């Protein structure tokens, strides 16, 4: 399997389950976007298995899996992602990795704390999530993980790169890398999914032009 094949298959999967939609959507930021990404639609066994399979393939094919001891999923959407990706790695590639995730609020009883899972001194961690809009959520996770001690964040892997700028002129993913020295990888970009949608007849060239126009306004620099 090649990375190009992975991108093509994953793009079709996202369209099939309605995780990426094209049209006109008002975002939290107030922007009117011609596309919308929502992995929250993955809510049954078949689709979560397939999602985990795609993340597992991406971890292997992008050469990321050997860089980490633990896969971490930020709550809430990152939790099913990291669990299914761990299962996918084991079932498809016979690679067993620890996984962990965080609570939104610390418990003061039972096992306590903010982290569920086994993280230790010196662990190398890969963060798995759905998208990165501004990087703010990931910054909060870095703060949580840094409280554990001497751990290293090796990368962030997201499903879809929206290609939009963060708080500066740079793309949110590039901005995050520049600020923290942590690379952000994606399985696909929104343009990969749009191309698959155009090929399948789900959208028209007019829709593609709207996406291009939107990214000219809100897209970020890569370097």
Catalytic residues: 107, 109
| Beta carbons of 109 and 53 less than 8 angstroms apart | no
CA angle 13, 68, 128 (to 5 degrees): 35
Give the other-Cβ count within 10 Å of 133's Cβ.
Answer: 15
d(CA 191, CA 208) in angstroms, rounded, equals 9
Distance CA 60, CA 89 (A): 8
Burial of 149 (C-beta count, 10 Å sphere; 0-12/13-18/19+): exposed
Hey, what are 20's tokens?
């990426």
Q: What distance in Å separates the CA atoms of residue 67 and residue 171, rounded to the nearest whole number?
A: 24
Cis preceding linkage at 167, omega within 30 = no
């Amino acid at each position: 399997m090649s990375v190009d094949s992975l991108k093509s298959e994953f793009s079709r999967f996202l369209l099939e389950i309605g995780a990426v939609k094209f049209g006109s959507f008002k975002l939290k930021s107030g922007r009117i976007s011609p596309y919308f990404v929502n992995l929250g639609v993955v809510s049954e066994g078949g689709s979560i298995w397939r999602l985990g399979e795609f993340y597992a393939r991406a971890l292997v094919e992008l050469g990321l899996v050997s860089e980490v001891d633990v896969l971490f999923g930020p709550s809430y959407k990152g939790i099913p992602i990291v669990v299914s990706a761990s299962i996918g790695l084991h079932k498809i590639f016979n690679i067993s990795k620890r996984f962990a995730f965080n609570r939104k609020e610390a418990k003061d009883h039972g096992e306590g704390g903010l982290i569920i899972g086994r993280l230790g001194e010196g662990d190398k961690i890969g963060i798995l999530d759905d998208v990165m809009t501004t990087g703010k959520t990931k910054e909060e996770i870095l703060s949580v993980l840094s409280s554990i001690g001497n751990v290293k964040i090796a990368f962030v892997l997201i499903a879809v790169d929206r290609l939009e700028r963060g708080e500066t002129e740079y793309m949110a993913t590039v901005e995050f890398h520049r600020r923290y020295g942590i690379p952000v990888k994606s399985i696909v970009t929104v343009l990969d999914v749009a191309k698959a949608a155009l090929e399948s007849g789900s959208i028209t060239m007019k829709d593609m032009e709207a996406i291009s126009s939107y990214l000219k306004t809100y897209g970020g620099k890569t370097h």
